[in-house]
Structure 1
Amino acid sequence: MRAGYALDGDDGCIADARHHALGFLDRACTDHRLPVSERARDLTQLVVSELVTNALKYAPGPVLMELRINALAVDVVVWDSDPIVPAARAADPGRIGQHGLEIVKAVTEDLFTEREPVGKRITARIALSDTRGSRTARC
């Protein structure tokens, strides 16, 4: 299952992206009976927020988000027009802000960036199951 969304950068765009992600996970659960843990839902919203925020902040033009899911994981894919590949900065407890990529790396199973003919595509993979066992799946 997959779905794509064009994000225009208007006020509320990041909230809309999170809303699309939750709706996508709900459809995966109800239509395809894929068990999605509460942790996976929370982390998906967080990753969507961070990746879309970065794309809107640093790249001119539109942002595209694609969500893909299989029995084990959901992929959050964000494309923007800036060809510069982001890098997580070294840990600095005194730094205010610019921790988004560090956070995404910490909560995802995999994170990779692909340069495109125009811009780049960042993919973050989030496990559907709660390996910590603290929260149960919604389906």
Structure 2
Amino acid sequence: MRSSAAYDMASGEIARARGFVRDFLAQAHLLHGWPVSDRATDVAQLVVSELATNVCKYAPGPCLLDLESDGITLSITMWDSGAVLPAASATDPTRVGQHGLELVLMVCQSFEIRREPVGKRLVVRLSLLDSADLNPGGHTAW
């Protein structure tokens, strides 16, 4: 199952992107009977919110959001026109803010960045199923 949306990134678009993910996962469950946990839906919305926030801050303008799932994994791809590649900051519990990419890396199974002829593309993969410890499937330590 696949779906795409385009946004002209402003702060109000973050909520629309989160809703797009929520609706996509609800449709995946309704149309295909795929077991999508509430926790996975929350985590997917958090990831999209953090990625979209970074677009608003560092690459305002057009943004494309692609979602794809096989019923086990959700692939979230976000393209923006910004040339600067994101990087997680060193751990600092006293730092206020700038924890978004750290959060994304903690909850995803894989994360990749591709430079494009214009801008960049981030691809994040998440499990739609919860493991026994209630962590969306198989968190990979970074």
TM (normalized to structure 2)? 0.90
Report the CA distance shift for 1:56/1:10 in structure 2 as closer, same or farther (over 3 A): closer
The aligned residue for residue 55 of structure 2 is: 55
Q: Which runs of 4+ in 1 moved over 6 A?
A: none
Deviation, structure 1 residue 64: 1.0
SS of aligned partner of 2:90: coil
Report the CA distance shift for 1:53/1:11 in structure 2 as closer, same or farther (over 3 A): closer
Is 1:18 the equivalent of 2:33? Answer: no
The aligned residue for residue 64 of structure 1 is: 64
Residues matched between the structures, number: 135
The aligned residue for residue 131 of structure 2 is: 131
Q: Higher relative contact order by CA 8 Å / sep ≥ 6: 1 or 2?
A: 1
The answer to which of 46-55 and 82-91 deviates more is 82-91
Deviation, structure 1 residue 61: 1.9
TM (normalized to structure 1)? 0.92
The answer to which of 10-19 and 95-104 deviates more is 10-19
The aligned residue for residue 4 of structure 1 is: 4
1:74-130 superposed Cα distances (whole Å, 9 cap, x missing partner):
011111011221111100011110010000000011111111110000011110110
The aligned residue for residue 104 of structure 1 is: 104
- 1: CA distance, partners of 2:78 / 2:10: 17
Aligned residues: CA RMSD: 1.4
The percent identity for this pair of structures is 47
Partner amino acid, structure 2, of 1:131: S
